């Protein structure tokens, strides 16, 4: 299945891109997060997850669908 992953803040620096469309084998948000954390150095960065512009709890296990847009949103800094 193909989804779009959007990265913000520190995640852009670590992953080297703002956005990518990727074929994934994971069918739930929890499985995708586990995969991303294991295969990228992002486990130390706190972030919130949004699927199709809806914030979800990282403990929530949402079923992913073809074409979903998944954003990883670290805390915003600044004034």
Model pLDDT for residues 47-74, shown as the tens digit of each residue: 999 999 999 987 889 999 999 999 999 9
Whether 5 and 50 have beta carbons less than 8 Å apart is answered as no
The answer to whether residue 78 sits within a structural domain is no
pTM value is 0.89
Question: How many domains are there within the chain?
Answer: 1
Model pLDDT for residues 25-54, shown as the tens digit of each residue: 999 999 998 999 899 888 888 999 999 999
Close Cβ partners of 62 (under 8 Å, ≥ 6 residues apart): 28, 29, 51, 56
The answer to whether residue 79 sits within a structural domain is no
Mean pLDDT, rounded, for 2-30: 94
The answer to whether residue 69 sits within a structural domain is yes
Cα angle 34-32-49, degrees, rounded to a multiple of 5: 95
79, pLDDT greater than 60: no
Q: Which domain holds residue 66?
A: 2-73
Whether 63 and 1 have beta carbons less than 8 Å apart is answered as no
Domain at 38, CATH number: 3.10.20.30
The answer to whether residue 18 sits within a structural domain is yes
């Amino acid at each position: 299945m193909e989804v779009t992953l959007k990265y913000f803040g520190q995640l852009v620096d670590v992953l080297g891109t703002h956005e990518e469309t990727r074929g994934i084998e994971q069918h739930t948000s929890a499985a995708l997060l586990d995969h991303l954390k294991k295969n990228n150095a992002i486990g130390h960065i706190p972030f919130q997850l949004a699927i199709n512009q809806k914030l979800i709890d990282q403990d929530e296990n949402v079923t992913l669908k073809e074409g979903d847009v998944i954003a990883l949103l670290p805390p915003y800094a600044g004034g």
